[in-house]
Every structure is written in C-alpha cells, then in structure tokens.
Amino acid sequence: MPHHFTPKVVTANALLEGDVVYLTNIDTWTRDLKDAILLTDDADADLRLLQAEAQTGIVVGAYLADMKDGPDGPEPSHFREAFRRKGPSNYAHGKQEQF
C-alpha cells in the first residue's frame, strides 16, 4: 500500500550561529520559515535533503520537517517545529520578540 506524502521543508541549524534555517526554492538558506520551499514530492524532498546534508561547512543536523501550506508560506504541523521556529526559550530576545 503506497504511503501518503506529507508536505515538508528542509531545515537545519546554521553551523556558525546555531540559528534554525530553512532551504529556499533557490537552494539558499533562510531564517524565515515563510521563505522556505514547501516540498510536495517525496523524491524531490529526499534529493534536497541529501544536498543539504552535504553542506557541512554551512549547516548541521539537516532533516525533513512536516509542514502544511499556510496563507503566508509553510507552517509547522507539529509543536516541535513551532517551538524551533521561535528560537531559544530562556528569555524573549531575537526572534522570540516577534511572537
């Protein structure tokens, strides 16, 4: 029985800063989830993940994160990704001031 593919984004952490980053449609990295490419094809998602994992001088810990299509771009479909999107949780600074 074929499995149903859930839309995904490629996410990782920037090697030098540690910030959460997302792959864009032009294969660059962004810190803003709305600019990430929402992948709807299993094979394309796997290929982009392999390419991201090879960028060891730029990012670490690349993986595919489940997302849903929202009015302003991809939106997390799991609390873990919503949490990561906001950044560090020890006090409001940086990205957390926006949420």
The Cα-based distances of 27 to 14, 88, 90 in angstroms read 14, 25, 31
Residue 74 and residue 77: Cα distance in Å, rounded?
9
In a domain, 3, yes or no: no
How many domains are there within the chain? 1
In a domain, 2, yes or no: no
pLDDT at 25: 95
- Two tokens, residue 95: 């990205």
- Two tokens, residue 4: 């149903």
Mean pLDDT of each 10-residue bin along the chain, 99 residues long: 85 94 96 96 97 97 96 90 72 56
What single-letter DSSP state applies at residue 58?
Answer: T
The domain in which residue 90 lies consists of: 8-98
